[in-house]
């Protein structure tokens, strides 16, 4: 992986991490389009690069992280299910799921259908009728929903948002909670992955990572601000359509 590829992946990560379209799937697909060999470093890079996006959340929501202890306890509650499931299935995720284009394509496609159905099916509801109150029970259930995102293509953001909306939370409340929950989730996932890989990065690889990290951080700030403005007057229908189209495109790429 070279510096240009790192910059491209950083942009992709920053722009997609907090949208319900799966940043992991986009990183893997982009990496394959760029012809990046799936070395141990490349696999770790696709996970670790998310730290740049997470730093963007910490910068934008620093008051929540450092001053609001009640919110922090709810974030910790929501994090528990993902931590347990991610630890148990780490090897399967790293060696099988992240290398399967079929899994990614199906997750994108089915997740898109869920978003479309949720917005225009029987579960359709307006944001105005939602609540901003996230109880500890709801936080834990949101964490269970997030654990589905260990499957590449599912999207951590989509899973938590749909879970929150199904519990009648407002769009603003669940989107911001999803942002906050991303911080410990990706921090621990990255730290654990780097520990398992032995931190055996060369000097060039460290430079490539740091550049991707910086680009991811800057583009994530733009991505978060866009998403917050978007949800004021829009729902997630078009994200669902995009996922379905992308999922079909990946399937076509695999078989044709």
Residue 199, class by beta-carbon neighbours within 10 Å (0-12 exposed, 13-18 middle, 19+ buried)? exposed
In this prediction, residue 135 carries a pLDDT of: 94
CA 51 to chain centroid: 11
Q: Which residue range is the domain that position 93 belongs to?
A: 3-255
| Domains in the chain, number | 1
* Low-confidence residues of the chain: pLDDT under 50: 123-128
| pTM listed for this prediction | 0.86
pLDDT for the residue numbered 118: 84
pLDDT score, position 199: 57
At 119 the pLDDT is: 80
């Amino acid at each position: 992986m070279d510096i240009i590829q790192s910059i491209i992946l950083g942009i992709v990560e920053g722009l997609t991490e907090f949208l319900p379209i799966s940043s992991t799937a986009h990183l893997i697909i982009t990496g394959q389009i760029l012809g990046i060999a799936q070395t141990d470093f490349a696999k770790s890079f696709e996970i670790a690069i998310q730290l740049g996006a997470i730093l963007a959340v910490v910068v934008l929501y620093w008051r929540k992280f450092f001053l609001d202890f009640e919110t922090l306890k709810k974030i910790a509650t929501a994090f528990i299910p993902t931590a347990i499931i991610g630890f148990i299935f780490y090897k399967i995720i790293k060696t099988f799921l992240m290398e399967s284009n079929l899994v990614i394509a199906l997750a994108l496609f089915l997740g898109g259908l869920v978003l479309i159905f949720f917005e225009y099916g029987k579960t359709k509801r307006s944001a105005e009728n939602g609540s901003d109150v996230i109880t500890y029970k709801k936080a834990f259930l949101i964490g269970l929903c997030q654990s589905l995102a260990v499957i590449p293509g599912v999207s951590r953001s989509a899973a938590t948002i749909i879970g929150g909306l199904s519990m009648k939370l407002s769009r603003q409340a669940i989107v911001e909670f999803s942002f906050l929950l991303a911080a410990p989730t990706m921090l621990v996932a990255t730290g654990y992955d780097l520990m398992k890989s032995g931190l055996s990065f060369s000097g060039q690889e460290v430079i490539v990572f740091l550049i991707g990290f910086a680009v991811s951080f800057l583009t994530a700030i733009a991505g978060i601000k866009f998403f917050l403005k978007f949800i004021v007057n829009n729902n997630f229908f078009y994200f669902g359509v995009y996922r379905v189209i992308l999922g079909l495109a990946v399937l076509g790429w695999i078989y044709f």
